[in-house]
Amino acid sequence: MRAILEQRSHEIVEDIEEAEAVILDTCGFIEEAKKDSISEIFDFIEHKKHRKFLLFVKGCLVQRYFEDLTREIHEVDGWFGVVPPERIADAVEKGEKKVIYRHPESIYSTSVRFDSGPYAYIKIADGCSHTCSFCAIPAFKGSYRSRRMNFVISEAEQLVRNGVLEIILVAQDTSAYGIDTNEGTLCDLLRKLDSIDGRFWIRVMYLHPDHITPQLIDTMTTCKKVLPYFDIPVQHGSDKILEKMGRQKKSEQILDILQQVRSARPDAVVRTSVIVGFPGESRNDFEILLEFLKEAQFDRLGCFVYSDEEGTPAKSFFPKIPHDTALARQEELMLLQKEISRKRMSRWTGKTIETLVEEQENGYYIARSFMDAPEVDGNVFVQSRDSLIIPGFYHVTITTSLDYDLEGVAL
């Protein structure tokens, strides 16, 4: 979006006091995100009382609640649903009030990117064709659609030329890439990205278990620039709950995937996310989940408390789990994960790993390793007698392991 506007000679400013127009992106996935989006809209409306500018609101929340939003909030100058960024740029320039597609369309053809930071995300697909009972994404994102491979590759090449050192591939399900086209699979895409000249990392997020194959594991563990980082949201460890969630893979099948990954690359890192408090989750189901996590030994884990989402089958499931009970289970689970993480992190003490140094603070350089996706994972805190170039790749000998982070000395 930013690159398209800049290419059309618009100036992007960071201070609202300098802006003539504001484009606010929104999320309509879970209740908390919806509340945050609504709050942001009203914050900008409040700003409009003191300074004149155009306010455009776009994204999933608009797609999902278009009629309600346009009926109730009149201070917004333009409402845009899930539509390609080129179409949004056209609407902003023309001052259009409403742009909504009956069938959401977020796949875009542009490859223009002006990013130059340490890392950048590339969307390789959007939408979802899974039928998880708790998830509303298909309702406002539509079915799964892969971007054209040549657009993705062109975008990555431009980012690397701009000096970006880590390319992060995202989608609702990256492992399904290409399933709806004849252009190739995620394996093919990764091999082509791996062949781009330059020194940079490739990280893949959101690998759905249903599409993880031995071929994909082999590709991710043998391509030199692809990090051995497997982000596999499993959601639960009780087969009863997995079935109610509409998940296809059972717990033993998930454990088999982990075994395949670690056999192919013993130092591979596996991240996951789970949900507690799903309707019908008994104490026994929760205990099964804990035992599953003990066996799986995930390196990284996020735990979310279930919340009812409009239009999903799970909203009608009973019995509901009291919120306090779900919060207590989340806390108990994360205490277990802290122990697992501490043990997993300790194996790196004394070893030398490559890191991406991104900033300096309080006498330390702050870096990430292949184990650390931005914003959701840990960091490596680096000491160095020499000044380090930021951003830059440096080998670091690990001296101390913490619960989720590492400390070390730059070579």
The mean pLDDT of the chain is 95
Q: Which of 407, 403, 398 has its CA nearest to residue 364?
A: 407
Cβ neighbours, 10 Å, residue 385: 6
What number is the average pLDDT over the span 44-55?
94
pLDDT at residue 398 in the model: 98
What number is the average pLDDT over the span 252-259?
98
Q: Is the pLDDT of residue 101 over 90?
A: no
Each residue of 182-201: pLDDT tens digit?
999 999 999 999 999 999 99
Under the banding of pLDDT at 50, 70 and 90, the label for residue 304 is very high
Q: Which residues contact 9 (CB under 8 A, 6 or more apart)?
A: none
Each residue of 235-247: pLDDT tens digit?
999 999 999 999 9
Q: Which of 120, 125, 126, 175 has its CA nearest to residue 374?
A: 120
Each residue of 286-300: pLDDT tens digit?
999 999 999 999 999
Each residue of 257-285: pLDDT tens digit?
999 999 999 999 999 999 999 999 999 99
Q: How far apart are CA 329 and CA 332, in angstroms?
A: 5
Percent of the chain with pLDDT over 90: 86
pLDDT at residue 111 in the model: 67
What number is the average pLDDT over the span 366-379?
98
Would you say the pTM of this structure is higher than 0.75? yes
What number is the average pLDDT over the span 52-72?
94
Half-sphere exposure of 332 (CA within 13 A, CB side): 15
Q: How far apart are CA 358 and CA 366, in angstroms?
A: 6
What number is the average pLDDT over the span 333-337?
98
Domains in the chain, ordered, with CATH?
2-99 (3.40.50.12160), 119-346 (3.80.30.20), 352-410 (2.40.50.140)
Q: How far apart are CA 331 and CA 299, in angstroms?
A: 18
Q: Is the pLDDT of residue 114 over 90?
A: no
Under the banding of pLDDT at 50, 70 and 90, the label for residue 335 is very high
Half-sphere exposure of 129 (CA within 13 A, CB side): 13
Each residue of 126-185: pLDDT tens digit?
999 999 999 998 988 889 999 999 999 999 999 999 999 999 999 999 999 999 999 999
Q: Which residues contact 343 (CB under 8 A, 6 or more apart)?
A: none
Q: How far apart are CA 382 and CA 408, in angstroms?
A: 5
